[in-house]
Chains A and B, each alone.
Chain A
Amino acid sequence: MTLEAPRRPRRRGLDAGISGWHRVSSRLLAVEVTGILLAGLVGVAVGVGVGFANPTAGWVLGGAVAVVTMIRLVIARARVRSIGYVLRDDDLVLRRGILYSRLVAVPYGRMQLVDVTRGPVARLLGLAELRLVTAAATSAVTIPGLPEAVAAELRDRLIERAEERRVGL
């Protein structure tokens, strides 16, 4: 199993002139949408609960939840497509976000931990999430929406490179 051929996400936000971005699986969209709908459902349920006590407040709350959920659904696709990662010679670079874009470079030698996790919905779709941890809590980086085989391969490759270049703190 090899990594998917690099596909360049649409040019948006920061990329620091780096090319060869890998994109995550488009099935991640289903995971995201499920999450958004569940959160919306909970919000609406709360709205209904409040509505029994105070109908006006219930409608306002329910309406707000509905609007937020709609917006999140609309931008979900773009958000998933904005996630990209590159394995370079000495580091892994991750980018994500459209409105708030973020670009992080994690040198292999600094990685303390590489973790693969699977949420319930992601597991149904055969997806996994890769998490990299360095000694700095702020640089915890996650790459969601990797097909399981890719995630496992990536993890092994990262661990191997981290071993090669291990440095102290």
Chain B
Amino acid sequence: MPAAPGGQYLDGAWHRLHPATPLLRGGIGLLAVLLWLGANLRERLVALVFGLPDSGGDPLDALSRHHLLGIGALIVAGVLVVGIVLFWFAWRASTFRIDGEAVTVRHGILLRTTRTAKLDRIQGVTISRPLFARLVGAARVELDVAGHDANVRLEYLSSGAAEELRRDVLRLASGQRQAVAEQPAAEAGVPILAIGPGRALGSVLLSEPTLIVVLVTAIGIPVLTAVGAAPAAGISLGPLLIAAVTVAARRTARNLRYSVTATPDGVRIGAGILSTSNEAVPPGRIHAVRIEQPLLWRPAGWWRVSVNRAGRIGGRRNAELERSIAPVASREEVLALVPHLVPGLAAAGAVLAAGLTGRGHDEDFVPAPRRARWLRPLAWRRTGFLVTDGAVLLRGGFLRRHLTIVPEARIQSVALHQGPAERLLGVATIEPHVVHGPVRTRLGLIDEPRAVALFVQLDVEGQQARSADTSHRWAASVEEAPA
């Protein structure tokens, strides 16, 4: 491991993966086969020692009947050796390379596959350390690329090499020149979000599932006791309670180790206790942000922040994790975090605050007209939108306050809807379309002429913002930006 960080992978040459890779990838399978064999042979050993009658029928019996056990053992050993050799060749054949345009991974001996992740299409870089890999100091690097199942994985690298690789990839993706990149860069990160034990536990306890469990228990036990079915009550509610406590404990534990850090290369999200993961999201990769506050969290002033990103649609192991970028955050943390997610909003603190808790005309939000109260008697006061600093803010929700932010440069297309009731009241629904994710970007109850104006504005400004957008090469100076 070189002492000076960075640069090792920037030479454009092919590099190998961690030598323990075959063990980590195939080792668990091998272990399973051995365990299975052991479990099957146990009875046989017992029979051998105690001389029980031969039940007959399975392949081992057939072999022993024909005195072929020795040959059988040889075959098994041969298969094992061939397997290990194959794994070794597979490891030798798996290499990766980084050049100015893309990260390329190739593997396979007979069937050679090559996978390429174009730097400007990389949506994030995740370093994860599954428990087994962590024991031998290895880590997996996954490059999130837009598109279903388009991710490029590097399994496995040593932990240090993984960090270094990520730094190099992000630096190249940022558009900095190699010459600049070779100088050690400041890795300084500002922690934005770290969830303390109180909040981790509190946020889980004050959630709707907990409330439901408490209600079911509080109503269920007296009712069942009253009808004289108390023992049955215990039996039926027991598993429910155990499941609820398990889920709550797991969530709390996850939130305990959850952190978000701001770096010049975007935000970093760290999570996990035994198997850890750390994900870097470069700027300009976030297509929509939703900040919401469940009713139960209002006294505590907590918010949840979720985002839509390209390339994280299929096959994620931890869907829970990607649902929210900040599972529970204080108001100050939200105000600090959002400018890192939507770069244009750095100077818009007051606007954000109005979006979170304001109503009506606060900070120039355009509110829903009064007649819209017939459709949403409570939420209409909170409903409103604002276009500012290259982003559109959609505010709504009375009991469950929410604010959705869409950077104009990330809008794919714009839709305007109007149902019969909306037509009667002269209001309409606007929906800027963004890539799929947990955030739904639509806002109803907008005065029809204003909705039409917003539709036209988002359509025009979205395209202008996209052509002026350079965030896919976020650190490149203006002259260096590709034409």
List A residues at the B interface (Cβ < 8 Å).
Answer: 13-14, 16-17, 90-91, 99-107, 109-110, 134-139, 141, 167-169
Query: Is B433 within 8 A of A100, CB to CB?
Result: no
- A103 contacts which chain B residues (CB < 8 A)? 415-417, 455
CB distance from B98 to the nearest CB of A (A): 20
Kindly state whether residue B466 has any CB partner on chain A within 8 Å.
Answer: yes
Kindly state whether residue B205 has any CB partner on chain A within 8 Å.
Answer: no
Query: Is A105 within 8 A of B413, CB to CB?
Result: yes
Q: Which of A102, A103, A135 has the most CB of B within 10 A?
A: A135
Query: Is B413 within 8 A of A110, CB to CB?
Result: yes
Query: Is B452 within 8 A of A136, CB to CB?
Result: no
Q: Which residue from chain B places its CB closest to the CB of A98 in the assembled complex?
A: B420
Q: Which residue from chain A places its CB closest to the CB of B311 in the assembled complex?
A: A169
CA distance A14 to B431 in the complex (A): 14
Q: List 21 A-B contacts (CB under 8 A).
A: A14-B452, A16-B452, A17-B452, A17-B456, A100-B420, A101-B417, A101-B418, A102-B417, A103-B417, A104-B414, A104-B416, A105-B455, A105-B459, A109-B463, A134-B433, A135-B310, A139-B415, A168-B120, A168-B472, A169-B121, A169-B310
Q: Which residue from chain B places its CB closest to the CB of A108 in the assembled complex?
A: B463
Query: Is A105 within 8 A of B417, CB to CB?
Result: no
- B414 contacts which chain A residues (CB < 8 A)? 104-105
- A137 contacts which chain B residues (CB < 8 A)? 435-436
* Main secondary structure on B side of the interface with A: mixed
CA distance A138 to B287 in the complex (A): 14
Interface size on B, residues (CB 8 A): 31
**Known contacts A17-B452, A105-B459, A134 near B412 by CB under 8 Å:** yes
Query: Is A134 within 8 A of B413, CB to CB?
Result: yes
Query: Is A91 within 8 A of B310, CB to CB?
Result: no
- B462 contacts which chain A residues (CB < 8 A)? 107
Kindly state whether residue B329 has any CB partner on chain A within 8 Å.
Answer: no
Query: Is B466 within 8 A of A167, CB to CB?
Result: yes
Kindly state whether residue B419 has any CB partner on chain A within 8 Å.
Answer: yes
Query: Is A106 within 8 A of B472, CB to CB?
Result: no
- A138 contacts which chain B residues (CB < 8 A)? 415, 431, 433, 436
CA distance A135 to B436 in the complex (A): 8
CA distance A70 to B423 in the complex (A): 24
Query: Is B420 within 8 A of A99, CB to CB?
Result: yes
Select B410's contact among A13, A107, A169, beta carbons within 8 Å. A169
Select A102's contact among B146, B287, B416, beta carbons within 8 Å. B416
CB distance from A7 to the nearest CB of B (A): 22
CB distance from A54 to the nearest CB of B (A): 35
Query: Is A109 within 8 A of B466, CB to CB?
Result: yes
- B410 contacts which chain A residues (CB < 8 A)? 169
Kindly state whether residue B40 has any CB partner on chain A within 8 Å.
Answer: no
Kindly state whether residue B55 has any CB partner on chain A within 8 Å.
Answer: no
CB distance from A128 to the nearest CB of B (A): 22
CB distance from A12 to the nearest CB of B (A): 10
CA distance A72 to B310 in the complex (A): 39
Kindly state whether residue B443 has any CB partner on chain A within 8 Å.
Answer: no
CA distance A127 to B410 in the complex (A): 34
A-contacting residues, B92-148, CB 8 Å: 120-121, 146
CA distance A17 to B416 in the complex (A): 13
Kindly state whether residue B467 has any CB partner on chain A within 8 Å.
Answer: yes
Kindly state whether residue B341 has any CB partner on chain A within 8 Å.
Answer: no
CA distance A86 to B134 in the complex (A): 57
Select B463's contact among A90, A99, A104, A135, beta carbons within 8 Å. A90
CA distance A161 to B368 in the complex (A): 37
Query: Is A169 within 8 A of B415, CB to CB?
Result: no
CB distance from A121 to the nearest CB of B (A): 28
- A13 contacts which chain B residues (CB < 8 A)? 418, 423
Kindly state whether residue B262 has any CB partner on chain A within 8 Å.
Answer: no
Q: Which residue from chain A places its CB closest to the CB of B453 in the assembled complex?
A: A16
- B120 contacts which chain A residues (CB < 8 A)? 168
Query: Is A100 within 8 A of B418, CB to CB?
Result: yes
- B452 contacts which chain A residues (CB < 8 A)? 14, 16-17
Select B436's contact among A100, A109, A136, beta carbons within 8 Å. A136
- B463 contacts which chain A residues (CB < 8 A)? 90-91, 107, 109
Task: Report the 4 A-B pairs with minimum CB-CB distance, sorted nearest first.
Answer: A139-B433, A136-B433, A139-B413, A136-B412
**Known contacts A105-B413, A168-B472, A169-B410, A14 near B418 by CB under 8 Å:** yes
Kindly state whether residue B172 has any CB partner on chain A within 8 Å.
Answer: no
Kindly state whether residue B445 has any CB partner on chain A within 8 Å.
Answer: no
- B394 contacts which chain A residues (CB < 8 A)? none
Kindly state whether residue B269 has any CB partner on chain A within 8 Å.
Answer: no
Q: Which residue from chain B places its CB closest to the CB of A112 in the assembled complex?
A: B412
CA distance A107 to B464 in the complex (A): 11
- A102 contacts which chain B residues (CB < 8 A)? 415-418
Q: Which residue from chain A places its CB closest to the CB of B288 in the assembled complex?
A: A136
CA distance A105 to B120 in the complex (A): 26
- A109 contacts which chain B residues (CB < 8 A)? 463, 466
CA distance A92 to B92 in the complex (A): 51
CB distance from A97 to the nearest CB of B (A): 9
Q: Which residue from chain A places its CB closest to the CB of B442 in the assembled complex?
A: A138
Q: Which residue from chain A places its CB closest to the CB of B431 in the assembled complex?
A: A138
Query: Is B459 within 8 A of A14, CB to CB?
Result: no
- A90 contacts which chain B residues (CB < 8 A)? 463
